[in-house]
Copies of this chain bind each other. A is one copy, B any other.
Amino acid sequence: MHFRESKAFTLAIDIPSGLFVDKPVTDEDAVVWAGFTLSFASPKLVFFLPETAKYTVQWEVLDIGLDQEFLFTTQTEVELIGKLEVLPNYIPREKYSHKGQFGHALIIGGSYGKIGAVTLTSRAALSTGAGLVTAYIPKCGYHALQASFPEAMIITDVDEEKITSIKFDIEPTVVGFGIGVGTDTKTASAFGTFLKTNKAPLVIDADGINLLSKKKTLLKLLPEQTVLTPHPKELERLIGAWKNDFDKLKKIKAFSKKHKVIVVIKGANTITVFEDKLYVNTTGNPGLSTAGSGDVLTGIITGLISQGYNPLVAAIFGVYLHGKSADIAVEDYGYQSLIASHVIDYLGEAYIDIFKQPEEPQLEEEKDAE
């Protein structure tokens, strides 16, 4: 019997045997499946990558007396994002604020049968704190959006079923593009024309990313620090196939540096990549594997940029809020019944949670004494 097939509980020290901190696992590497890994000094990136995370069910970090100051000041390429990391980036609302200060988010998307995605993105942008939200959609979505989201303003394309030209007389603070938009050639053409004159920061998702993949020259027209939020297939179309998680990260870093864009790799531990740095998110749960969950994330990031967060912070903080909101919602709905609208509904609690002290673990005997 191979050790790795043993059903006994396996404790790994620092890193499960056979796993490397800096290169991928191959079939020949007989990695031990650890029930628990006690890691030294800091968690390893491989604990968060899809191909290798499975090798340790749980992990904890042991302080082995390395110089803390050295650790904190060393510029690492990987940062874990939790409450303590987002807190200093939070922008408080001043009393004498007005909605003009929180910007005007424009959400461009939708096509026949896929208007709900725009509703979710727009609602998420407003519920994240944008001052105003306008949805730009094909005509076929007019009644639905007007009925279900009264706080939004709507501009419709001349076309009934898809986006064919992007023209508006508002001055958006930020534009979210691509949710449910399809890849019709007229839509592609309208997107290209829009990019030529657009000055606003951009968040691009879904078919918006597919349109970039189809016509890579458009990448040159993106404003610096445009946020891209691809799911795996969209990512592959954008950067090409990868051999393994390490190769994928390498390719994304190169892509990010070349085009000066921020890439949000959606997954169990969503990783935001900008140039050489990786920001590994620690919130979120499998309940987010549900229709529209990504549309809500796009709305959250757009809503943050709208109110003044820079795009990188908006991406990192947005991914955190999205996951945290789901973490709170899942206590009421469970993994299976959580739907994307719930993530929007619980955004307020996710914000409020930022200022809550983490609960200190309590000893059993203290509990009994209560």
Interface residues of A (CB under 8 A from B): 50, 53-54, 93-99, 101-102, 112-117, 119-120, 126-133, 140-156, 231-232, 267-268, 285-287, 289-293, 307, 332-341, 347-349, 351-352
A278 CB to closest chain B CB, in angstroms?
Answer: 17
Decide yes or no: A340 and B141 within 8 Å by CB, A131-B289, A289-B97, A351-B334 being known contacts.
no
From B50, B133, B144, B291, give the contact of A151 (CB < 8 A).
Answer: B291
Which residues from chain B contact A94 at a C-beta distance below 8 Å? 286
Q: Which residue of chain B has the shortest Cβ distance to A336 in the bound complex?
A: B129
From B95, B145, B267, give the contact of A286 (CB < 8 A).
Answer: B95
Contact A99 B290 (CB under 8 A): yes
Which residues from chain B contact A131 at a C-beta distance below 8 Å? 289-291
Residue among A120, A140, A340, A348 facing the most chain B CB atoms (10 A cut-off): A348
Q: Measured between alpha carbons, how far is A101 from B148 in the docked complex, in Å?
A: 30
Q: Which residue of chain B has the shortest Cβ distance to A286 in the bound complex?
A: B93
A-B contact pairs, 20 of them (CB 8 A): A53-B95, A54-B96, A93-B286, A94-B286, A97-B289, A98-B232, A113-B142, A113-B146, A113-B153, A117-B150, A120-B151, A126-B290, A126-B339, A127-B337, A127-B339, A129-B290, A131-B290, A150-B341, A151-B292, A334-B351
Decide yes or no: A340 and B53 within 8 Å by CB, A98-B289, A146-B144, A286-B93 being known contacts.
no
Contact A287 B339 (CB under 8 A): no
From B54, B95, B148, B150, give the contact of A150 (CB < 8 A).
Answer: B148
From B99, B144, B150, B332, give the contact of A120 (CB < 8 A).
Answer: B150
Contact B147 A291 (CB under 8 A): no
Which residues from chain B contact A141 at a C-beta distance below 8 Å? 146
A212 CB to closest chain B CB, in angstroms?
Answer: 21
Which residues from chain B contact A130 at a C-beta distance below 8 Å? 291
Q: 10 more A-B contacts (CB under 8 A) besides A112-B156, A116-B151, A338-B348? A: A53-B96, A93-B336, A102-B290, A112-B154, A114-B153, A126-B291, A127-B339, A133-B291, A150-B340, A334-B349
